[in-house]
């Protein structure tokens, strides 16, 4: 009996000290897609223009007040708060500017400089210059999802913009009106919500009829949606192309 008791105790003691098998490795949690930042060093060449009085003192596309005496600029697709080095290819002069606005909405132009920035590279008189722009600093707090649209027109008359928006929305599903502040507000009609500039270019190819100027633009969370102007507001019925100066 004593031997049996001793053996039982030994058996229980041994079981309690059995080694456990290796722990099962946990599957890594899926990570949220990283924001798509613009690589530092990205270069673009084309025509620059500058803009001043009609927009000075009015909200830019990022919500801050545009001051033409600050070193800022408008670009159609660069994220807000991207710093760009802009070099006048005719005289070699350069200036660093911060992107706060959207534009230019004129064919063959790639950037709109403030008056102060244009002065530094000596393009105030000519109004335009061929430039090279280089990304020198990119924001790190970009949203995880970037979307792009095709601007099919900019109108000084809200009713005209609304009719165009409705026509494109019926055909392509998504179209909106964005407001560009100025002495005369411009109502920009934006079509689509594409995940990349390349996809927006494909949409633009479908929309193009051969006459209109189409622009690929970034859809910003701060884009100011347009509302009908107050009754009796003094607006014109002609389309506008966001002219400079």
Please, are residues 219 and 148 in contact by the beta-carbon 8 Å criterion? yes
- Determine which of 5-19, 39-53, 54-68, 76-90 has the lowest per-residue pLDDT on average: 5-19
Does pLDDT of 210 surpass 80?
Answer: no
CATH class of 148-230: alpha beta
Predicted local distance difference test score (pLDDT) of residue 221: 73
Name the pLDDT band for 107 (thresholds 50, 70, 90).
confident
For residues 133-138, average pLDDT: 95
220 vs 84: which has the higher pLDDT: 84
Name the pLDDT band for 29 (thresholds 50, 70, 90).
very low
What are the Cα distances from residue 79, in Å, to 14, 23, 24, 115, 221? 66, 46, 44, 21, 11
What pLDDT, in 10s, does the model give residues 144-162? 568 999 999 999 999 999 9
Cα separation, 107 vs 109, in Å, equals 6
Q: Do domains 43-137 and 148-230 have the same CATH topology?
A: no
CATH class of 43-137: mainly beta
Please, are residues 99 and 142 in contact by the beta-carbon 8 Å criterion? no
Domain ranges for the chain: 43-137, 148-230
Q: What are phi and psi of 131, to 5 degrees?
A: -135, 165
pTM for the full predicted model: 0.76
């Amino acid at each position: 009996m004593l031997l049996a008791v001793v053996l039982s105790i030994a058996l229980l003691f041994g079981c309690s000290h059995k080694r456990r098998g290796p722990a099962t490795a946990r599957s890594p949690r899926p990570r949220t897609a990283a924001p798509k930042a613009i690589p530092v060093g990205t270069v673009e060449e084309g025509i620059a223009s500058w803009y001043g009085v009609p927009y000075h003192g009015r909200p830019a596309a990022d919500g801050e007040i545009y001051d033409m005496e600050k070193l800022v600029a408008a670009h159609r697709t660069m994220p807000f708060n991207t710093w760009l080095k802009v070099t006048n290819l005719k005289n070699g002069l350069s200036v660093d500017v911060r992107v706060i606005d959207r534009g230019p909405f004129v064919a063959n132009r790639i950037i709109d400089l403030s008056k102060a920035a244009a002065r530094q590279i000596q393009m105030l008189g000519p109004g335009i210059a061929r430039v090279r722009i280089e990304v020198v600093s990119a924001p790190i707090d970009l949203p995880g999802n970037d979307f792009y649209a095709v601007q099919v027109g900019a109108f000084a008359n809200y009713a005209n913009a609304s009719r165009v928006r409705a026509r494109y929305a019926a055909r392509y599903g998504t179209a909106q009106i964005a407001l560009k502040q100025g002495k005369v507000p411009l109502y920009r009609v934006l079509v689509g919500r594409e995940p990349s500039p390349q996809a927006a270019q494909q949409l633009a190819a479908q929309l193009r009829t051969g006459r209109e100027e189409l622009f690929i633009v970034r859809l910003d969370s701060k884009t100011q949606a347009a509302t009908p102007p107050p009754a009796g507001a003094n607006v014109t019925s002609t389309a506008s192309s966001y002219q400079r100066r």
